[in-house]
Structure 1
């Protein structure tokens, strides 16, 4: 009987699932029910759930699969990880445990674990609703950052200067319901902040000068790679979200990698990926933000492959699903590569600057559109909803980042703005 690989995803097509199919594996996709209209015909290789906390539905799926040889359950999204771990436990499949998935996705529990490991993390406090923020601010001070306790992609993350500012934001609708792309409601991203199923977290707002991420891959306790990158600007202040890979031999890179390794150790990562967020404040102190036990999102996977040709993150995730030891050959002497995400205003896309135009900008080596004419764009929302990604190389990290940002700014996605949508699909 053909081995089954189960993949939980927020959209019908994900690269590592396609790679598993290319290798001849039987793949069962688990998708949010709102995506049913995007899956053609009757498919026996797709199972729909009402949301990622629909554990009764997942239990029924496990019963259906009990007589099949399920060898792996994977996902590359934070919002799917507890559901994947739950299903993994029911099926007796190796991989991230339920307990580990909770710490990986609950920001309060994770910060407690990181703090206990001796890492600097911002002071924080849980709140059930926004009404609890002023009292909880006694533990964090003002300004502070409000975020979903079990969120992702910075959805709902908001910088708040004072109690008066909090009231102004609330009166202006900053915390109300959102219109989101199909599939995102499965994680509750369409809800008002006060309706977040996992509650909220507030943190001290650090005076961040530089923000970093580090991409980590391990196999049975051995590091395959730890690749440091610097965001183009601190994420809460960035006009364009993107990052540039750092040379591996600098002191800056060494600090980032060292902290990322300690964070991955704290979350007991033995086999798998970690995307670690790190900050340096203006006073020169280093802080751990948070980490996800999955590959980086946005343009990060492509960025890694362009910086280190031959390193295919999606292929490596397929390797792990098939219990194949990952083989990686890094190219440490190549010029730095950067990526920047392009956004489209809310509405239905009616015109896009051709990729060929963007590729003619200095240093640009790739441009990946995520949306096409006729698709609906939902506007900026955290670090999600990219319309496309631009990649550029330069003699220095600063030059690469500047080139990517210039090309991304020139990449225009023209839309019919709501409420005049006539092309809604």
Structure 2
């Protein structure tokens, strides 16, 4: 099988390659300048092509014509990152493939279209409105009338909680809009109080091959310090049967609304103090942070399960085994201050904690890092016997495993264009890259 893959996400790409898939990879100008692509992985690609922008339809159209002229055919187009979803659907349409559709790409990227679609099937979601461009004060008054305060303001097609904020008053919103105008257009939505969850699944013909409900240690909007309680714990179905049943029922309605039948999804939702569930967002790509790595405690990263679902001849799932602890989850340890990393937790220091089940380093000494919810550092998969013990262990790891940085940067390199995924580094690319005509 041959896949046309939009953007670099090493775990997903390796999962496809290891299962014999032929991969033609597209990267854009930003990735070409800022990402370090593992030469070993690049060497296994059928082709690596650099384009200027995933938003340039003319460039993508010319690329497809050239590939077709060469006689290349593709079984599937996928985007493994947030900012390739629109392009993946456009490319699929040009190649005559049924999915992903352009309409679906809009609904899983533009959060207004997403919420409107799921609402039509009765899925509870926060009230929202588009933030009018132009005068920030007038825009803030509109938000006050439409959804009230407190409110959450975010880019309509953003990623994570980059350029996202909770605002308490119209004056605060006007000030925020003035400072962040370049990251728009924005939407505003009602603030939903309570616990925040993420749901990670692989779907085949509408049924889940794997389905896990995880609770964030802190709601993402509260991550003012991404080095503290930046993680989540998977909730075992046997211990939370009612929650799992309700979440799966809600997720199936979301899938129906957005025409999701196959592939990998990362969904976020809230549980309010009265126990009701509220849909927040969904993405049709692997989740960030440690959401997919946590499955390794059961034998395979979720990206591997996803790749297997795409290449499997009979598409019959083999459920992953039970984890070695009743509760598993992930935590990201990151520098508390931006700058160049001067020291990092050693392997020996990490190995001193026997409940650490897996380690994924996304930043090393010498890397320059920022501090936001997608900041790189080290992601740990850990096990515990209870939720309380899991949190205790996270706090112990935070105290013992520390990054140190030198404050030798003053600019803001981690803007929305660059903060697509946790683990971005800026070492350049060590391999030859073909440039699209």
> For residues 243-302 of structure 1, what are the alpha-carbon distances to aligned partners after superposition, in whole Å with 9 as ceiling and x for unaligned?
101110322333333322322222221111221211012243321111112232211111
How far 1:405 moved relative to its partner? 4.0
Alignment of 1:20-419 (within 5 A): 20-37=16-33, 38=36, 45-66=47-68, 67-129=71-133, 131=136, 132-169=139-176, 173=179, 175=180, 192-193=182-183, 196=184, 199-207=185-193, 209-238=194-223, 239-249=228-238, 250=240, 251-306=242-297, 309-322=298-311, 324=313, 325=315, 327-332=317-322, 334-344=325-335, 345-361=337-353, 363-380=355-372, 383-419=373-409
Point out where structure 1 has 5 or more consecutive residues left out of the alignment.
177-191
1:189 corresponds in structure 2 to none
Q: More deviation in 117-126 or 337-346?
A: 337-346
Q: More deviation in 275-284 or 107-116?
A: 275-284
How far 1:68 moved relative to its partner? 0.7
Runs in 1 of length 4+ with deviation above 6 angstroms? 40-44
Measured in 2, the distance between the counterparts of 1:341 and 1:202 equals 28
How far 1:151 moved relative to its partner? 0.7
* Compared CA separation, residues 25 and 114, structure 1 to 2 (3 A): closer
Secondary structure of the residue aligned to 2:163 is coil
For CA contacts below 8 A with separation 6 or more, give which structure has more relative contact order.
2
How far 1:406 moved relative to its partner? 2.9
Point out where structure 2 has 5 or more consecutive residues left out of the alignment.
412-425, 428-437
What TM-score, normalized to structure 2? 0.83
How far 1:366 moved relative to its partner? 2.4
> For residues 338-381 of structure 1, what are the alpha-carbon distances to aligned partners after superposition, in whole Å with 9 as ceiling and x for unaligned?
2111222322222112132123236322222111122221221x
> Does the CA-based 8 Å contact 1:369-1:388 persist in structure 2?
yes
> Does the CA-based 8 Å contact 1:85-1:96 persist in structure 2?
yes
* Compared CA separation, residues 262 and 398, structure 1 to 2 (3 A): farther
> Does the CA-based 8 Å contact 1:359-1:367 persist in structure 2?
no
Measured in 1, the distance between the counterparts of 2:85 and 2:399 equals 34
Secondary structure of the residue aligned to 1:85 is helix
- Report the aligned-residue RMSD: 2.6
